[in-house]
Amino acid sequence: LGVVIVQILVNGQPARFVVDSGAGATVVSEKSARRLGIPDGGDKVTVVGAGESRARWVRLETLSAGDYT
């Protein structure tokens, strides 16, 4: 497929993420956010990329990949 997938820990919970070196933000579904313990970010904002959608900004407690946190 030509994508890089990495195993990471989000707030201590394991997840697999696609690496997009040109992205300004990381996007996950609401279902994945709940599973990973990501808090609700409050008001939705408009995000434009490959289309327009509504999303919430949040700051993670921890994000780890291998030895990098």
19-52 residue pLDDT tens:
888 877 777 888 888 888 888 877 777 766 667 7
Distance CA 68, CA 64 (A): 5
Distance CA 60, CA 46 (A): 20
**Which neighbouring-strand residues pair with 16?**
7
Q: With cut-offs at 50, 70 and 90, classify the pLDDT of residue 67.
A: confident
Q: Which of 62, 57, 54 is nearest to 14 (CA)?
A: 62
Q: Given a cut of 80, is residue 18 above it in pLDDT?
A: yes
Per-position b or e across 21-54, b if 16+ CB within 10 A of its CB? eeeeeeebeeeebeebebeeeeeeeeeeeeeeee
